A and B are shown apart, each in its own frame.
Chain A
Amino acid sequence: MATTIRTDAQPARKASLRDRFDLGNGMFPYFLVAPTIIIIALVAVYPIIDSIRLSLLDNPLIPSGSNFVGLRNYLQVLGDSAFRNSVGVTLIYSVVSVALETVIGFALALLMNKAFPGRGLVRTAILIPFAFPTIVSAQIWTLMLNAQNGLLTYLFQIMHILAPGDSLLRTPSGVVTAAVMIDVWKTTPFMALLLLAGLQVIPGELYESASVDGSNRWQQFWTITFPLLRSALLIALLFRMLDALRAFDLFYVLTGGGREIQTMALYSYANMFVGTTFDFSPGVAAAMILFIICAVVGIVTVSLSRISQN
């Protein structure tokens, strides 16, 4: 992608202003992309800027107008132990679930990269969790994990993973474990399909000549498969990581909207809508902190992939 743009741009550099924008299509393409870009600017970019303003006010919901309080909301949020816990929960959940999804997704992709009877069936089956709304998958797993009559609770108790009468959803670490399990169940297929697409464009001759040279499968994986998949892997990792960092629905259902264990998004929501109106701005500030973390992760990953490409 990036290389094609550069080759387009080079000859245009010396051209006149009109020619510079005119690559055979005039201004026409800009009119076509304008509506989408305007919508995104108004509904996604502008609210982020407005968030900064709101996060510096004491109470934007009162009609009489609110006062500028500087960074007070940010300091309040950073000083709140519930917020610091939510940062920990979010990071642990994101890193563990994305790592597991990558490893299992990779294994699945390698497994499906060979033609065999029933492959279509498997590919279809793993798309089913993918179609589930997160809220529904969280709900049905909650039913399976509940203390009273959950199927998984019953199995865990038989296997002595859980004490009789106990349930995974009773402790914070149990909730995070459950969340990781559900996320792995739901989104590993996405990872597997992206990596499978990457695998299928690797020419088979590479493996043939490697076999002739006497390298074994394990060596072939590290010398051929992994390097050639690196950029597909980075993109998949970035998407999954940013999606995990904003986790909301899953924890909302697992905790019954409770406040003992929260992700950053859930903490922000609870401040904005569950507390008093004076908690609204700290909630917006917490959401801004999450936004900044996501932006940093995105920028770092994109620059890493640029470096690895050069």
Chain B
Amino acid sequence: MAERELVAPAATTGVATETESKRQINWENLGRYIALVVVLFVALGPFYWTAITSIKIDSEINSSPPTLIPHSFTTQNYANAFLSVQPAFAKDLLNSTIVAILTTILALIFGSICAYAIARTKFRGKGGVLAIILSVQMFPLIALVGPLFVFFTNTINVYNTYVALIIPYLVISLPVTVYFLTSFFRELPPDLEEAARTDGCTRLGSLWRIILPLAAPGVFTTAILSFITVWNDFLFGLTMTSDSTAQTVTVAIPLFNGEHLIAFGEVSAAAIIVTVPLVIMVLFLQRRIVSGLTAGAVKG
């Protein structure tokens, strides 16, 4: 990323008199840091609050005023969340993991050859292909629920199975996969691939032997993003399953809210369990995610 070079000239523009500019920059920096502290506080506050609620005992959770630093510590909420049967949390967690992994593998297979064509070959209608794939990402998905539900229950009888989830999940995962892989494939130098092809490698061979290994970090990032996209879905999990045979973990979360009573500790523990793996993955890959996201955006 070339951000450092780009900002350098802006920082040196105000060198009229050295002392004056110094004082000015100090004020500016102060304002900037105050704003950033507020941003950090707002961004991380809810996460912190959920994390500490998940380790508090019930009496402290219900105390007023609320305690910002926990006085008690318990792992009971986590144990309860895992052992709960009303939302069969552990099984739903397993379902989400399996479905997200299977969808991601399929999306990577179809998406990588599609992204290769978009990034590395010229053909008429490329813009149209990209437009179709990206516009699907913005579909109001509720419009797909009715017809897919009828098809899955009346025609192919897969309602409440993994298949009923993987099929619609491919549609939300493929646009993400194609978008990010295209952006990562574009960054690779074309020379290597050309060399491989003069040595007699076929196009698919060069995708498999040259492009994918070279773009491996990008492919990995894309896989994680696809996994997160599928994992975060709620609508299809809610409408295409009826019980924990296939129900996903996002559907289990609201089920912790009883009719009149919310199990605060357990919901918080469940929220942390569902979110922490994603947060870790995003933090780990943040540079790549930002560059993939923005590279594509700038090129349109």
Contact = CB atoms under 8 A, between A and B. Distances in A.
Interface of A: 1-2, 5, 8-9, 12, 20-21, 23-25, 28-30, 32-33, 35-37, 39-40, 43-44, 46-48, 50-51, 54, 60-61, 63, 107-108, 111, 113-116, 118, 121-137, 139-144, 146, 148-149, 151, 154, 185, 189, 193-194, 196-198, 200-201, 203-205, 207-208, 211, 231-232, 235-236, 238-239, 242-243, 245-246, 248-249, 252-253, 256-257, 264-265, 268-269, 272-273, 280, 283-284, 287-288, 290-291, 294, 298
Given A51-B147, A115-B8, 10 more contacts: A54-B147, A114-B7, A114-B32, A139-B267, A196-B294, A204-B8, A207-B13, A235-B300, A265-B140, A291-B139
Contacts of B29: 116
Given A136-B274, A143-B50, A111 B142 contact: no
Contacts of A200: 1-3, 6
Contacts of B122: 8, 23-25, 29
Contacts of B231: 133
Contacts of B138: 238-239, 242-243, 294, 298
B114 interface: yes
Given A133-B232, A139-B271, A128 B44 contact: yes
Interface residues of B, number: 108
Contacts of A246: 139-142
B234 interface: yes
A185 B46 contact: yes
B262 to A, nearest CB: 7
B174 A51 contact: no
A91 to B, nearest CB: 14
Nearest to B175: A40
A298 B64 CA distance: 48
Nearest to A48: B143
B286 A133 contact: no
Contact of A125 (B44, B50, B147): B44
A43 B171 contact: yes
Given A140-B46, A194-B293, A231 B143 contact: no
Nearest to B293: A193
Main secondary structure of the interface of A (DSSP, over half): helix
Nearest to B14: A211
Interface stretch (B69-77, B211-219, B275-283): B275-283
Contacts of A9: 124
Contact of A133 (B11, B13, B116, B250): B250
Interface string B102-116: 000000001101101
Contacts of B244: none
Interface in B250-296: 250, 253-254, 256-257, 262, 264, 267-268, 271, 274-275, 278-279, 281-283, 286, 289-290, 293-295
Given A39-B171, A272-B146, A201 B298 contact: yes
Contact of A149 (B62, B140, B228): B62
Which 4 pairs show the lowest CB-CB distances between chains A and B? A197-B294, A32-B117, A204-B9, A133-B232
A204 B9 CA distance: 6
Contact of A50 (B110, B147, B274): B147
A189 to B, nearest CB: 7
Nearest to B46: A140
A203 B6 CA distance: 7
A132 to B, nearest CB: 6
A73 to B, nearest CB: 11
Given A40-B133, A111-B35, A131-B279, A284 B147 contact: yes
Question: Which of A28, A29, A141 has the largest number of chain B CB atoms within 10 A?
Answer: A29
Contact of B110 (A5, A35, A231, A249): A35
B83 interface: no
B268 A124 contact: no
A134 B253 contact: no
B228 A1 contact: no
Contact of A185 (B42, B116, B203, B268): B42
B104 to A, nearest CB: 14
A128 B43 contact: yes
